[in-house]
Amino acid sequence: MNPQVVEYYESLFKFEIMQEPKPLKELVEQYVGHDATHEQSILAAYANVLKELIG
Query: What is the tens place of the pLDDT at every residue in 3-51?
Result: 999 999 999 999 998 898 788 899 999 999 999 999 999 999 999 999 9
Say if residue 53's pLDDT is above 90: no
Q: What's the confidence (pLDDT) of residue 13? A: 94
Q: What's the confidence (pLDDT) of residue 34? A: 94
Q: What's the confidence (pLDDT) of residue 30? A: 94
pTM for this predicted structure: 0.86
Q: What's the confidence (pLDDT) of residue 22? A: 82
* CB burial of residue 41 (10 Å; 0-12, 13-18, 19+): buried
